[in-house]
Amino acid sequence: MAFYELRQYKVRPGKMQEWLKVMEEEIIPFQVAKGMVITGSFRGEADESVYVWLRRFESEAQREALYKAVYESDHWKKEIAPRIPDLLDREKMVVTRIVPTTVERVVGTMRNPTNNSRSQ
């Protein structure tokens, strides 16, 4: 069964713009190139320290393979990972696995309803 990771980060004071640039120009493109499915990227509206993003996985096996492809790569270890501690408080990072509810499946169906009404 597919699941998502809801990843919540605390960005260090004054570092949000730099963090967004790294995420949007480096991290997200790199992870997508490795096969990750990123379904959303958000910042806090009023709280400059809040950053949240979502990733989707088809299975635990897929998640494990993608983690290995991303986090064990030389590019991640040498180019990206060393800069993260200056931008994020990693001790405040929260990663939550979530699964779709019945409501999401119904809403998805409502977005593409079958047109059963007759034109008048």
For the chain, the average pLDDT equals: 89
HEC string of the chain equals CCEEEEEEEEECCCCHHHHHHHHHHHHHHHHHHCCCEEEEEEECCCCCCEEEEEEEECCHHHHHHHHHHHHCCHHHHHHHHHHHHHHECHHHCEEEEECCCHHHHHHHHHHCCCCCCCCC
Question: What's the predicted TM-score (pTM) here?
Answer: 0.81
Q: Between 103 and 120, whose confidence is greater?
A: 103
Mean pLDDT of 100-109: 65
Q: Which range of residues forms the domain containing residue 63?
A: 3-99
Strand partners, 95: 7
- Whether 107 is covered by a domain: the verdict is no
Render pLDDT for 67-87 as a digit per residue (tens, 0 to 9). 999 999 999 999 999 999 999
CA 110 to chain centroid = 25
CA 81 to chain centroid = 16
Q: How confident is the model at residue 114 (pLDDT cuts 50, 70, 90)?
A: low
CATH of the domain at 37: 3.30.70.100
Residue 110 reports pLDDT greater than 60: no
* Number of structural domains in the chain: 1
- Whether 10 is covered by a domain: the verdict is yes
Q: Between 96 and 117, whose confidence is greater?
A: 96
